[in-house]
Amino acid sequence: MKAIIRNISALKTIRDFPAGVRQEIGSLLRLLQRGEVLGMPQSKPFRQLAEGAFELRVKDKGGVYGVFYVLVDRGRIFVPHAFSKKSQKTPLKEVETGKKRLRRLVYENQ
């Protein structure tokens, strides 16, 4: 099973999401841990963040929730950032935050 390495702020944000959204994100991350490949509509490649990066997308009546994850190598999945958004498009501010946190995760886990 792959290890999930989360940024602490991303983890706190996910904990603040509605219960149903948290459960769906947890289920999707467990599938990734087992080595399954997710596709649309739950996951889409997100190369603006990094090579091997994806965005989990979960919708509910309150909005759209995104979680960036990066398949680093065979044994690890980095989760640098989680956020809520009002539209399908991911705001540039969220992408930049994800990039900064990803760099830190990579540095801390070399």
The three-state DSSP-derived secondary structure of the chain is CCEEEECHHHHHHHHHCCHHHHHHHHHHHHHHHCCCCCCCCCEEECCCCCCCEEEEEEEECCEEEEEEEEEEECCEEEEEEEEEECCCCCCHHHHHHHHHHHHHHHHHCC
- Interval 74-109: pLDDT, tens: 789 999 999 998 877 888 999 999 999 999 999 998
The model carries a pTM of 0.93
pLDDT at 42: 94
pLDDT at 19: 96
pLDDT at 87: 78
Which residue segments constitute the domains of the chain, with CATH numbers given? 3-108 (3.30.2310.20)
- Interval 33-73: pLDDT, tens: 999 999 999 999 999 999 889 999 999 998 899 999 998 87
**Sequence letter at residue 18:** P
What is the Cα–Cα distance from 77 to 80, expressed in whole angstroms? 10
pLDDT at 70: 95
